């Protein structure tokens, strides 16, 4: 089983993950934005990213 992992996501990549069906939960307590680990061009917050189990009919 995959454990959730932490990624720094800008606003755009956060939306991309949500659209792709991932569970994305913000990690609390962050005071400063970091470089996005996904596109590496934006700035964003740390999120716990977890693959959602999808049942196709
Ligand atoms: Zn990004």
pLDDT at position 33, please? 97
pLDDT at position 41, please? 96
pLDDT at position 3, please? 75
Distance 14 CA to ligand 1 centre (A): 7
pLDDT at position 53, please? 73
pLDDT at position 12, please? 97
Distance 45 CA to ligand 1 centre (A): 10
Distance 12 CA to ligand 1 centre (A): 6
Residue extents of the structural domains in the chain: 5-51
User: What residues pack around ion ligand 1 (CB closer than 5 A)?
Assistant: 10, 13, 36, 38-39, 42
pLDDT at position 54, please? 63
Q: Which residues of 16-54 are buried (b: 16+ CB within 10 A; e: fewer)?
A: ebeeeebebeeeeeeeeeeebebeeebebbbbebeeeee
For residue range 14-56, list pLDDT tens digits in order.
Answer: 999 999 999 999 999 999 999 999 999 999 999 999 988 766 6
């Amino acid at each position: 089983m995959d454990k959730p992992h932490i990624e720094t996501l800008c606003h755009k990549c956060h939306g991309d993950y949500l659209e792709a069906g991932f569970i994305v939960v913000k990690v609390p307590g962050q005071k400063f934005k970091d470089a996005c680990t996904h596109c590496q061009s934006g700035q964003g917050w740390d999120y716990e990213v977890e693959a959602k189990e999808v049942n196709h009919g």
